[in-house]
Amino acid sequence: MAIKGVIANGNPANNSIAKKVTFKTTNLDNGVIVVEPHTVSGPTPVGTFNIPLNGISIGTNKFVVPLQTTTGAGTYWLKFWLPQPNSSIMYVTFCIKTNGVADGYYDYNTGIPSDYRSALRTWIRDNVSTNVSNAVSLQKNLLFTVYGLDTNQVSSAIQYMVRFTAVFGGTVSVSPTR
């Protein structure tokens, strides 16, 4: 049921600034890719997090992480769209908390505001002092556990890390790693 005056976020596959992560299962005996959907759990913080992760599950396949200690309307968040049933694709979107969309977090589709970028850099810095006279690269890592639904065994699980990196005196980039 749609709520009057509230719109749904578009499909993250059509979001020009969403980061797409595709999971595949490889048969280790012969190197053949096993076609199967995946389930993903997480994120779990990796390394030192001076500011707690404080993530929230919203619905069956979305997880949001605040970039600020306040969490009211107008605050900035990261949204992880975990794979839908019969899918192996996860998306990371950049969003703002608002009552204007059905899930409560509007995904930026074009152009991330400078205030958002600043909040992301502060979240990555995580209260660590930096020497402003030198370029310093800091990162924050989030770990996910991935299972193929057809090969769903503990021994078949992999861990997948999404790494957020900020170069102070430079730009912010997002790069998934494994």
Distance CA 15, CA 75 (A): 20
Determine the straight-line distance between the first and last CA of the chain, rounded to whole angstroms.
38
**Residue ranges per structural domain of the chain:** 12-177
pLDDT of the residue at 106: 92
- pLDDT per residue over 21-46, tens digit each? 999 888 878 988 888 888 898 899 99
pTM of the model: 0.83
The mean per-residue pLDDT over the stretch 79-85 comes to 91
